[in-house]
Structure 1
């Protein structure tokens, strides 16, 4: 996409500058380069699903991150940062809409909120993927919004597994300089993450 193409189509949505998905979709349909079509489609997935900000639009900050993926930059820390930022904002306000990848949050829910019998040795397999396992699991379509609210409001400590069954113990980064926390940089801001508290939840010393 040329700078002129973007400038002609960029829209102001709240505090963000975004490209409408319909413009990206039209470009995917007509672009002569097949690889670039796939790249634009992948950018759209990042903007609409992984880092959603405005409905039906891709934030320009997402394109900046996407541009760096070819250079080996991992999006994982940005996904964590934006997930924590959004959940904290909703908690502080006592209301609000979660802005993040709802599908990944659902994986976290299913990984931690229901204790089910799992084949533990599978996590050591090179081909094991918790995401693939969740996709292969029959979907629960019978959980209504009201039922989710009841589940979350009535959770007890013993109902939550603080460590996912597929987490293999490894070295953990828990300091940044002289601070006992790690700053996670997102695409719209940063949040402090304290792995030592997480370890305490795991029951580690």
Structure 2
């Protein structure tokens, strides 16, 4: 809640921000009842031997992971170009979207990645992880948001800051809100304390419940 405005990220917003519009939205990702082991899944993704994969798997707290640096070395050396792309994409999901174990890609990421070629949308899973992480920080009254921070930041700016917003650009094939965020100069002079003051003093007129680039009839009320 910001003042009296209920701001909750929606599936429609995350779908637009991640440009997953062409993926079948009625086939959401869900963990299958019977799945391959982490070892077998990594073997399928990397096309490396069982001995090589087994040697890379590490235990981090309660989950199995593979270090990012091992995947990085494999990306640079793998003879199959398609596999290089797959391993790189797996790394991005692990390090940016679901960075639970810092510097590592965990088993849950491989489960999601394994299902993407079935044309399912990862958006509900990413949104769910956003809620879980934010709720964990709120319950503990401290902590670090460990999910897709760039996506949450872009969603946040879309709803509250008084900036020039051009709504039609989202319909351009080449337009990406995430790319625009990367290209926008950062205000590094805003301290943590100043951000706290800004957020604590937001008024109802400072926030918008609907992102300006969303189509009205695509919002689920």
The TM-score bracket by the shorter chain reads 0.7 to 0.9
**Correspondence for 1:132:** 179
How large is the Cα RMSD of the aligned pairs? 1.9
In the aligned structure 2, how far is the partner of 1:25 from the partner of 1:124? Answer: 35
Q: Tell me the SS of whatever aligns to 2:147.
A: coil
Match of 2:76 in 1: 29
Q: Deviation at 1:62?
A: 0.3
* Paired residues of 1:130 and 1:166 also in contact (CA < 8 A): no
Matches within 5 A, 1:55-94: 55-94=102-141
Cα drift, residue 44 of structure 1: 0.5
Contact 1:115–1:161 (CA under 8 A) maintained in structure 2: no
**Structure 1: distance between partners of 2:104 and 2:94:** 7
Measure how far apart 1:67 and its partner are: 1.2
Residues 123 and 56 from structure 1, CA distance in 2 versus in 1: closer, same or farther, beyond 3 angstroms?
closer
Q: 1:79-111: CA deviations, max 9, x gaps? A: 101001110111122111111011111111211
**Distance verdict in 2 for CA 1:20–1:126, change over 3 Å:** closer
Q: What is the number of residues matched between the two proteins? A: 174
The offset of 1:73, in angstroms, is: 1.4
Query: Does 140-149 or 33-42 show the bigger shift?
Result: 140-149
Q: Which moved more, 1:105-114 or 1:137-146?
A: 137-146
Deviation at 1:134, TM superposition (A): 2.4
Structure 2 runs not aligned, ≥5 long: 1-45
Between Structure 1 and Structure 2, which shows a larger proportion of strand residues? 1
Q: Which runs of 5+ in 1 are unaligned?
A: 174-198, 200-205
